[in-house]
Amino acid sequence: MGLFDTLRSVLGFGADAAATRDADPEDLFGMSTAYVTMEADLDFVPAGAAALCFASVDSTDFDAAVDEVSTILDAGAEETGTTFHHHEDDHGYHWVVLEDDDPEDLVTSVHFAADTFEEADFGSRLLAAVFGFVRPRDDTRAYWVYSFRRGAYYPFAPTGGHERDNRVEFKLASVLDGELDVENDESYWYPMWPDAPDGHPWE
């Protein structure tokens, strides 16, 4: 199984048996308290960026949904200062990448984008929402990934190249389990490697 097929299987385009429930953008609001715990208990602070990953489809209705997401985020930017851009990665997946120093604004903006796809009946195209964190004392990066098809979060802590820090990931999961709905099947903790070395998953 290639990388493309593995991502499809893990994040929602494989067997229906892999799905626990449909996409629910309301789950994203769990990050509104989790980021506080990340800093207070684990010394990880928000990285000032988050992203929504989705698979495109050749449809004018889907294109209209993407345009509506941009319109909503443009309108919100005037109030929150959240900037965004679109990105297509090397595997053909699409991202709405958001940047803001206020983590509450990031959570709200990601939710708005996801909810727009859901209301347009394209919730099945949503793959993941990814929230970035960094530990200032050693620049360790960590991410919380929300899998829409699994209806759960999982931690991802890349260390450079295609290596990950499992110790950090298990620590994050143990501390945040209960505050977030953490995926209990570790085979679904899929590594979202960036295109660029040492980049974010959406880069």
Structural domains for the chain: 3-11+24-188 (3.30.70)
Instruction: Please state the pTM of the whole predicted model.
Output: 0.89
Residue 12: both structure tokens together: 């929602």
Q: Which of 24, 169, 58, 63 minimizes the C-alpha distance to 71?
A: 63
User: On the CB side of 67, how many CA atoms lie within 13 Å of its CA?
Assistant: 6
For the chain, 203 residues long, the average pLDDT of each consecutive 10-residue run is: 44 46 80 97 97 93 94 87 90 93 95 94 93 96 95 93 92 96 94 83 87
Q: Which of 172, 169, 170, 159 minimizes the C-alpha distance to 198?
A: 159
Q: What is the pLDDT of residue 1?
A: 32
User: On the CB side of 39, how many CA atoms lie within 13 Å of its CA?
Assistant: 11
Q: What is the pLDDT of residue 14?
A: 47
